[in-house]
Structure 1
Amino acid sequence: MFSRDIGIDLGTANVLIHIKGKGIVLNEPSVVAVDKNTGKVLAVGEEARRMVGRTPGNIVAIRPLKDGVIADFDITEAMLKHFLQKIGVRGFLSSPRILICCPTNITSVEQKAIREAAEKSGAKRVFLEEEPKVAAIGAGMDIFQPSGNMVVDIGGGTTDIAVLSMGDIVTASSIKVAGDKFDQAIQHFIKRKYKLLVGERTAEDVKHKIATVFPDARQEEMDIRGRDLVSGLPKTVTVTSGEIYEALNEPVEQVITAARGVLERTPPELAADIIDRGIMLTGGGALLHGMDMLLADVLQVPVLVADDPMTCVAKGTGLMLENLDRIPKKALV
């Protein structure tokens, strides 16, 4: 028997879909390739991501979500429809109930946009839930006890930080500094230092392969190719982990400041629990080399990286779907 409950982690970088009883059935980039002249959608997800920076003038690869919220409503709707069709939900499972995660500080207008995009994609009912809460559940934290749990969820567009107790958020912060800003910082640094233009995918590659945010924690180097701003010709330069540490300093500092701010606003009893239990790091940014060491060093609290941090939110939606009827209605917007 198929269930009609679906959880969606509608991320700036990736969309993950969890079907109740089946687990995560889709994990694809949030990218849509569109023909500018006709407005026709040509490719969605991984296929569209491969086109980023490599398309003729009339084809544009669009990321319809920016900073964790919908920037292009029609393209988001087309993307959701495509993904739901791909996993065989639309038609076969008519009108599913959908649980979607969103950043903690989005406006009611942004919430309405997410809800409408899901409804137009064929949902019978749409529930919205705050991302750090779902990430904490997906990471295996028991947030329903009267004790403090802290989660730092670093995604593609936003970093969501929250202290949770008794199933709800006590203090939280959401900043628009996350994976995308890290990539941009790397691009700007290389442009400034080497007069070399590199694409998003090259910057992301550098971040994964040689970057670190903890001083002297990694000593690696990598050859990167781009376009020389002076000659206009292709050029290769070698960058080191130390240089990328320097490039990421500013955006990472903003994440640290936000985490410190949340801790400072946390009631003392819950803060004492967090010292015992530590902070859980989730989202793709949790995989950034040295992030856990840096947070632990600055905040003086143990920091744990979740198992498979990229899928915590999607796993959390799955666990919430199991208990959808038992979750207090006030918790579901």
Structure 2
Amino acid sequence: MFKRTIGVDMGTARTRLWSSDVPESILDEASCIAVDTRSETVVAVGDEAAQMQGRVGAHLTTVWPVRQGEVVDPAAAKALLRHLVSSRSSRVTSVFPASVMIATPSMATAVGREFFSFAAGAVGTREVVSIAQPLAAGIGAGVPIADASGAFVLQLGAGVVEAAAVSLGSVVAHRSGVFGGNWLLERLQRDVEKAYGIRVSLDDVRILLHTCTTFIPKKEHIFPLFGQDRHTGEPKQVEVSSSIFTTTLASWLDLCAKQLQELLMAVPTQLVSDSMNKGVLLSGGLAHIPGVSEALATAAGVPMSVVDEPGTAVIHGVQTAVTHLDEFKKSVMYQSDE
């Protein structure tokens, strides 16, 4: 009997989807839809919708259904997944109900997981199973998480930063905070306006974050940036130095380090020993920033390393777990959201 499986990592900024319909690749799109307010119809999804933000007329609005790790617009989340899954389905396979696994933040409540499950219901599901994002990231990184020895993951997402201890295939303890990539972008945006007197878009700041920003000491980057003069509104170009972000980046590092230290104080002594021996794994989009693992290791006093493909570690873990769903459901990490 044909068995259809789908894995989903619906984050604040990006939604990644794997389907047995197209098993050789992962779909990676912005967690955004564009809606025509006159007809209440979806006109674009994913990256195409995100590119419309701030560039279209009043009759079109862009909706980001996930914020800080929570589904804030269930209908929009459902529409997004419906369109993404349909783009990966054939007329033949789409008639089969799917077993869906969706990654959720460790901090998600039962109600929060229900909202994610509601969104997943858009694809014609047989069942919905949730998995904690840090746990999925560990699986995606190839960690033998069924071992008794502990593994520590620091998931640096766009909405949420989560530190988690994983042992015997389950999240033993976790700490979460809403100081992810979007939190950082908003503060970097204010740094630019304060230092250079121009208003710039978050899209430009996002490019700045991943091309100009660095945690490597004494390494300065210069980046040309266009914006509007905050007093006159006239177009203005400036040369932005990465040095203006030092205070903001230090504050963010401090928050991450404190979160990890709180986690280490909450777990058994043997797991703390495991963290020192094996180090903490960094995953998520912010793990791409040069020097971040070294800076966090210094701030937290714990060895760090960035996993391969940190931005997609979660969906790779979901893919692995959902393709072995029967085994997953027999493990202690299984949690049904039917």
TM-score, scaled to structure 2: 0.93
Cα deviation digits, residues 163-221 of structure 1 (max 9, x gap): 111111111112111111111111111122222111110110110111123542x3111
Partner of 2:261: 260
**Offset at residue 271 of structure 1 (A):** 0.9
CA distance in 2, matches of 1:10, 1:61: 17
**Offset at residue 304 of structure 1 (A):** 0.9
Question: Do the aligned partners of 1:25 and 1:87 also contact (CA within 8 Å) in 2?
Answer: no
Partner of 2:15: 15
1:189 alignment partner, SS class: helix
1:157 alignment partner, SS class: coil
**Offset at residue 92 of structure 1 (A):** 2.3
Question: Do the aligned partners of 2:226 and 2:235 also contact (CA within 8 Å) in 1?
Answer: yes
| Residue range with higher mean Cα deviation, 124-133 or 182-191 | 182-191
1:50 alignment partner, SS class: helix
**Offset at residue 283 of structure 1 (A):** 0.8
CA distance in 2, matches of 1:291, 1:53: 31
2:6 alignment partner, SS class: strand
Q: Aligned AA for 1:129? A: I
Partner of 1:142: 144
CA distance in 1, matches of 2:81, 2:2: 20
Question: Do the aligned partners of 2:253 and 2:296 also contact (CA within 8 Å) in 1?
Answer: no
Partner of 1:187: 189
Q: Aligned AA for 2:12? A: T
CA distance in 2, matches of 1:91, 1:231: 58
Q: Aligned AA for 1:201? A: D
Question: Do the aligned partners of 1:219 and 1:241 also contact (CA within 8 Å) in 2?
Answer: yes
CA distance in 2, matches of 1:130, 1:214: 31
Question: Do the aligned partners of 1:6 and 1:18 also contact (CA within 8 Å) in 2?
Answer: yes
CA distance in 1, matches of 2:179, 2:24: 29
Residue correspondence of structure 1 range 58-137 to structure 2 within 5 A: 58-88=59-89, 92-93=93-94, 94-137=96-139
Change (3 A) 1:54 1:2: farther
CA distance in 1, matches of 2:90, 2:194: 47
Question: Do the aligned partners of 1:144 and 1:166 also contact (CA within 8 Å) in 2?
Answer: yes
Question: Do the aligned partners of 1:214 and 1:245 also contact (CA within 8 Å) in 2?
Answer: no
CA distance in 2, matches of 1:90, 1:63: 29
Cα deviation digits, residues 257-287 of structure 1 (max 9, x gap): 1112112222111111111111111111111
Question: Do the aligned partners of 1:18 and 1:25 also contact (CA within 8 Å) in 2?
Answer: yes
Change (3 A) 1:25 1:260: same
CA distance in 2, matches of 1:23, 1:175: 34
Question: Do the aligned partners of 1:23 and 1:318 also contact (CA within 8 Å) in 2?
Answer: no
Question: Do the aligned partners of 1:213 and 1:252 also contact (CA within 8 Å) in 2?
Answer: no
Structure 1 segments unaligned to the other structure (5+ residues): none
CA distance in 1, matches of 2:134, 2:91: 28
Residue correspondence of structure 1 range 190-269 to structure 2 within 5 A: 190-216=192-218, 218-269=219-270
Change (3 A) 1:215 1:2: farther
CA distance in 1, matches of 2:26, 2:310: 17
Question: Do the aligned partners of 2:134 and 2:164 also contact (CA within 8 Å) in 1?
Answer: yes
Q: Aligned AA for 1:8? A: V
CA distance in 2, matches of 1:266, 1:326: 27
Partner of 2:308: 307
CA distance in 2, matches of 1:55, 1:157: 25
Count, aligned residues: 332
**Offset at residue 329 of structure 1 (A):** 6.3
| Residue range with higher mean Cα deviation, 154-163 or 117-126 | 117-126
Q: Which runs of 4+ in 1 moved over 3 A?
A: none
2:171 alignment partner, SS class: strand
1:325 alignment partner, SS class: helix
CA distance in 1, matches of 2:90, 2:97: 8
Say yes or no: does 1:30 pair with 2:2: no
* Aligned Cα root-mean-square deviation (Å): 1.8
CA distance in 2, matches of 1:100, 1:89: 21
| Identical positions, percent | 28
Structure 2 segments unaligned to the other structure (5+ residues): none
CA distance in 2, matches of 1:285, 1:23: 26
TM-score, scaled to structure 1: 0.94
